[in-house]
Amino acid sequence: MENWLTKRAQLSPDRLAVQYQETKLTFAQMKEKVQRIATQLAQLAQNEERIAVITSNQLQGYLMILAVQQLGKTVVLINRRLSAREINFQLQDAGVQVVVQDDDFALTLSVDQQVSFTEVLAIPVTTLIEPVAEFDLDAVTSIMYTSGTTGNPKGVMQTFGNHFYSAVGSALNLGIMADDVWLAVVPIFHISGLSIMMRSLIYGMGVRLFEKFDVHAINHALLNGEVTTISVVPMMLTQLLAELPANTRYHKNFRTMLLGGGPTDLTTLQRAKAAGIEVVQSYGMTETASQVIALDAANAQRKLGSAGKPLFPVSIRVAHQDDQQHGRIQIKSPTLAVGYLNQPEKYANTFEDGWFDTGDMGWLDDEGFLFIDGREGDMISSGGENVFPDEIESIYAKLDEIKQIAVVGVPDKKWGAVPVAFVTFKDGQTLSRQALRDFGRDMLAHYKVPAHFYKATDFPRTASGKVQRHKLRDLLANASEIE
C-alpha cells in the first residue's frame, strides 16, 4: 500500500491532521514537518534498524514517531513512566542504540546516542530525504513492551497490516465521517494512543492531542463539539462526569466515548447517558493492536458488564469451558501481532490451534456477548497501566532485609486501583517506608511502587503454602503502615 502519510497529504491535504494546544497541522503541513524530521533522524541513525522514541503526548514526539515510519525503520515506543532499569532492558532487548526523547526526560540510558527532540530539530537539513514509497502490510513498524505475570517484558511486534485492520475494524463498528476528530489523552506510547495516530492517517481524521489528563480542558473540548470521539479508561470517564455541571449535555458532534482498560458500573453508565454520551466498552491489548471486542452504546445497559462482541474482522472463542461455560478467551484476528521480539517460542506458546490465548477467562451469553471474569492473574489496572504484583514482588525480593513481600491491588478513587504491599522482615532487620519507596522508585515505574507498605507477620496461604493474594485485602482493615 502507498505510504499512508504521503497518501493522506495527497487525498486530503487541507484536513486537520493533529492539534496540540494552539497548534494545528493539516495533513499537508504535517507531512512537510515529518519529512524534515525524518531527514534529521536519518543523519542520526543511518544504519539503525530501530529507533526508540520516549515521549509524553506532545506534538514533537507525535511527529518523531511518524518520522521513524517515513524512514522505513521500526519505532520502539518506550513508556515514559518506567525506571531506567526497565527502559534499559527494553532498549537492549530491541538492540536500540539511538533514543530520541522529550527535552525534559532526565534519565541516563545505556545507549550510544540519547538525543532530545530539540537537538534533533537543530540538525541541519540540506536535501530532504525521499520517504519510503510503500508501507508493506507485512512489515513490522512498531514495537511496544508488555509485562505479564511471569518473565521479562515482551516486545510486541506490530505490522502495518495489524494497524490497518485495527483501524478498519474500529471504523466498521463506530463509523467514520469526514469531520471526525479523536481526542488522544491515552498515551501514544501505548497501543491505545498509537492506534489513534494510525487511524488518523488511514481515515484522514484529526487528532486532538492532550499531554495531561486535564479534566476541565477535556470536558470543554467535548462540550464545544471540537471532538467527535475520545478514548478513555474508567477513571477518566468517572472524573469527566464528576466535573460536568448538573443537567449539562455534551455537544451533539461528540459521538463516541470509547472505554478501555476495564468495565464500568451502571451508575456511571446512567450518568453518561444523561449527559448524552455513547459509551462503547471495549477490550483489547497490545498483542491485538488495540480493541478487538466492543460493546455498542445500544446494548450498554442491557448487557452491563459485557465487553461486547468481536469486531468485524475478529473471531473469538471460549476454550476449556467449565460447567458454567466459563473458559479461556481466545482470538483470531488480522490485527494479531506477528510475534514477541527475540521470544518467538513464548509467542507461539500463547496460541492454541491457531487461536491466540488472551490469558483472560470469560464466557459468552446466548446472544454472543462476551463477559470477562477477570484479568490475567492478579493484574492491577491502575490509571490505564497494567501492573503485575509478581513483578513488584520480585524486585523487592532483592532487598536483603525483606523476608517476604506480597502485593495486591486496592481500589483508589483517582487511579481506579493502586498496588499496596504487605512486608515481613528477616529477624532483627527492618527498612523504613521511605527506604522502601526510594528503592521502588529507582527500580520501577512510579505507578508500580506500592502506595502503602503494611507490616505483616505472615500471609494467608493455601494448603501448599502459596500466598493467597486476594485474601490480603481482608487484612487491610487492621493493617498498620510501616513508618
Which residue number, 312 or 413, has a Cβ lying nearer to a copy of itself? 312
Which residue number, 164 or 415, has a Cβ lying nearer to a copy of itself? 164
Examine residue 122 and tell whether it contacts a copy of itself (CB under 8 A): no
Q: Residues 5-44 vs a copy of itself: string with x where CB under 8 A?
A: --x--xx---------------------------------
Q: How many whole angstroms separate alpha carbon 188 and alpha carbon 142?
A: 12
| Type of residue found at 266 | L
Which residue number, 79 or 166, has a Cβ lying nearer to a copy of itself? 166
Residue range at the interface with a copy of itself (CB under 8 A); choices 107-115, 197-205, 213-221, 269-277: 197-205
The distance of closest approach from Cβ of residue 318 to a copy of itself in the complex, given in angstroms and rounded to an integer, is 15
Beta 256-259 vs 229-232: how paired, if at all? parallel
CB-based contacts of 346, cutoff 8 Å, min separation 6: 151, 154, 340
Q: How many whole angstroms separate alpha carbon 27 and alpha carbon 200?
A: 10
Residue found by looking up cell 488495540 in the block: 290
Q: Are 85 and 398 in contact (CB under 8 A)?
A: no
Q: Among residue numbers 157 through 196, which ones bind a copy of itself (CB under 8 A)? A: 168, 171-172, 175-178
Which residue number, 176 or 479, has a Cβ lying nearer to a copy of itself? 176
Identified binder of a copy of itself from the candidate list 72, 334, 359, 460, rule CB under 8 A: 334
The distance of closest approach from Cβ of residue 294 to a copy of itself in the complex, given in angstroms and rounded to an integer, is 10
The distance of closest approach from Cβ of residue 141 to a copy of itself in the complex, given in angstroms and rounded to an integer, is 17
Q: How many whole angstroms separate alpha carbon 51 and alpha carbon 33?
A: 18
Interaxial angle between packed helices 215-223 and 234-243, expressed in degrees from 0 to 180 and rounded to the nearest 10:
70
Q: Are 61 and 47 in contact (CB under 8 A)?
A: no
The distance of closest approach from Cβ of residue 11 to a copy of itself in the complex, given in angstroms and rounded to an integer, is 6
Q: How many whole angstroms separate alpha carbon 18 and alpha carbon 2?
A: 21
Q: Among residue numbers 364 through 383, which ones bind a copy of itself (CB under 8 A)? A: 368
Local structure of 43: helix, strand or coil? helix
> Cα-Cα-Cα-Cα dihedral of 369, 373, 378, 380, to 10°?
50
Q: Are 90 and 155 in contact (CB under 8 A)?
A: yes
Q: Residues 293-332 vs a copy of itself: string with x where CB under 8 A?
A: ----------------x--xx-x-----------------
Write out the residues near a copy of itself by the rule CB under 8 A: 1-2, 7, 10-11, 168, 171-172, 175-178, 202-204, 309, 312-313, 315, 334, 368
